[in-house]
Amino acid sequence: MRDSFFHDGFPAANWGAGSFKVDVKDADDHYELTADLPGMAKEDISLNYENGYLTIAATRSESKDEKDDAGNYIRRERHTGEVSRSFYIDGIDDANIHAEFKDGVLQVNLPKAAGEAPRKQIEIN
């Protein structure tokens, strides 16, 4: 795993209130990624792995049932739009990536490719 795994390549300030939080855990033979996507449905989420980049995108559309009888909002505090995060992750067995979405939390299991050399600390003389 390279350090770039933890840097999505975009300044955090650009995401503002429309961002979502992601935790990444190195579990020896795989990575575990957990993304908080409250208020989203599974159908609103897209997960792609291409050229070493894992991209999570989510789109929330306006809900018709949030309006009063005249079709006007009385108060609306939900974000409508699209959010996206990309991570560069090398050495992944992409044929065996597994994802599950439950209760607003996306969990992605990214198995490491066989034969990946473990990181070794090199002593400097």
Q: Each residue of 39-75: pLDDT tens digit? A: 889 999 999 999 989 999 998 776 555 566 676 766 6
- 105 within some domain: no
- 70 within some domain: yes
33 contacts: CB under 8 Å, gap ≥ 6: 22, 23, 24, 25, 54, 87, 106, 107, 108, 110
Considering the entire predicted model, what is its pTM?
A: 0.68
Q: How many other CB atoms sit within 10 Å of the CB of residue 31?
A: 22
Distance (Å, rounded) from C-alpha 47 to C-alpha 27?
21
CATH of the domain at 66: 2.60.40.790
User: How many residues does this entry show for the chain?
Assistant: 125
Looking at every residue in the chain, the average pLDDT score rounds to 79
- 7 within some domain: yes
- 89 within some domain: yes
- 101 within some domain: no
What are the φ/ψ torsions at residue 110 (nearest 5 degrees)? -115, 95
DSSP result, 78-114: ---EEEEEEEE--SB-GGG-EEEEETTEEEEEEEBPT
Domain that holds residue 71: 3-96
- 81 within some domain: yes
- Check residue 7 and give its pLDDT: 47
Distance (Å, rounded) from C-alpha 83 to C-alpha 33?
17
- 8 within some domain: yes
Q: What is the total count of domains within the chain?
A: 1
- 48 within some domain: yes
